[in-house]
Amino acid sequence: MAEGLRRRVAARLPAADGIALALALALAAMLLSRAAGVWSGAAGRASISPVLCAIILGLLWRNTIGVGPRWLPGLEWVTFRLLRVGIALVGLRLTLGGASSVAVVALPVVIACIITALALSMALGRWLGLSQPLRILLAAGTAICGCTAVVAVAPVVRARPAETAIALTCVVLLGATGMLLYPWIGQSLFAASPQSAGIFLGTSIHDTSQVVGASLIYAQQFGAPEVVPVAGFTKLLRNLTLLLIIPLAASWSGEKLRMETRGPRAWFGYLRKAMPGFLVAFVLLAILRNVGDHALQGAAPRAAWQQMLNATSTASELFLVCGMTAVGLGVVVRDLRQVGWRALVGGFAVAVAVATCSLSMIYAVRHLIG
C-alpha cells in the first residue's frame, strides 16, 4: 500500500531533475550578475540583468550540452507553473492610477499593432505561398499573445499539426530575439519615459513570458521597476483582444457554421484557452492591490500590507528568473531548419512591422494627449 501511494505521488509530482537544472542555472545567473556588478563597480545594483544572464545560460546549455528526456517534465513544470505564478504576482504591482494612465496610450497602440499584423500577415503570406491557417496563426501569435494565441486559434482554423508547430517555433525564436534586443531599443528611445518603454515592450514582443522577461531585463538593467507592471498590463490588453479574434478567425476559415452547430460549449472551450488562469489571477491580484491600498487605514496595517507587497515582489522576481531560465532552455536554434524560409521571412517581417507600428503609435498618441 505504501509503495502504491509512493508511486501515485511520484506520478503527480514533476521530475526533480529538470527543476534542479533550472534552479542551478538561475542561481548561477544571479551570481554572474552580482560578480559583473562588483567587477564593473556598479553601486548597489547589477551591471547585467540576472534575467538576461539566466536566458543566455539556458540558451547556451540547450544548444551545446543539450537537454535529455528526463529533464523535460521538470522544465515544463517550471515553465508552465512556476513562471506563471511569478507573472500573476506582477499584478500586485499595478495600481489603479497607473493602469488608467497606461490604458489611455496602450489601447490605441494595441489596436493598431493587431490591425498591422493581420493585414501584413495575410497579404505577405499569400505572396510567399503560405497556407491561410498558417498566415492566421503567425498574425495571432505575433500581434496578440504568442503561443497562447497559436494554441487557441489553431483548432478554430483547422490548422494541421505541422502548421501549428511552425507557428509556435516562429513565436518562440523570434519572440526570444525580441526579448533580448528590445529592452535596449526601448531605453535608447524612451529613457525619460519608463511607461512608454513598458508599452513598447508590451505591444511588440510575442509571448506573455517573453514580455515579462524583457521588462525584467529593462527594470534590472536600467533601474526602472515600474516598467514591469506597465508591460504586463499592456500585454493583458493584447490578450483580451483574442476573445474577438477567435470568432473572426472562424469566419475567415469557414469554421463559424461548424462551431455554431456544436453549440456554446465549443465556443467556451476556445475562449477559455484565450484567457489562461494565470492572466485571470493577474487581474484579481491587481484588484486586490488597489482594494488593499484604499481599504487599509492606520500605520500598523499599512506597514504590514507594504511588507507583504515587498515579499511577494521578491518572490515574483525569483520565480521569474527561474522561469526565464527554463524558457532559455526551451529555445532550440536548429529548429530554424524545420520552419522553412518562407514562414521565417513572413514571421520576421510581421514582427518588425508590429514593432515599428508600436513605436510610431506611442509617439503619435503621446503627442496627441500632450
| Residue 43: predicted pLDDT | 47
Alpha helices of the chain — where are they, by DSSP H? 2-12, 16-40, 50-60, 72-77, 83-89, 96-128, 132-140, 146-153, 161-190, 194-204, 208-222, 227-240, 242-253, 256-262, 264-274, 277-295, 299-329, 336-339, 341-369
Q: How far apart are CA 283 and CA 96, in angstroms?
A: 11
Mean pLDDT for the stretch of residues 291-315: 85
- Name every residue whose Cβ is closer than 8 Å to that of residue 182 and which is 6 or more positions away in sequence: 200, 201, 204, 205, 214, 355
- Residue 161: its pLDDT value, please? 80
Give tens-digit pLDDT for 79-125.
888 888 988 888 888 776 667 788 888 999 999 998 898 888 888 88
| The pLDDT value given to residue 185 | 94
> Grid coordinates standing for 140?
495571432
CA torsion, ordered 39, 42, 45, 48, to nearest 10 deg: -60
Q: What tens digit of pLDDT does each residue of 232-270 get? A: 899 888 888 777 776 666 665 555 445 444 555 555 555
Could you identify the residue written with the cell 506597514?
Answer: 303
pLDDT at 203: 92
Whole-model pTM? 0.82
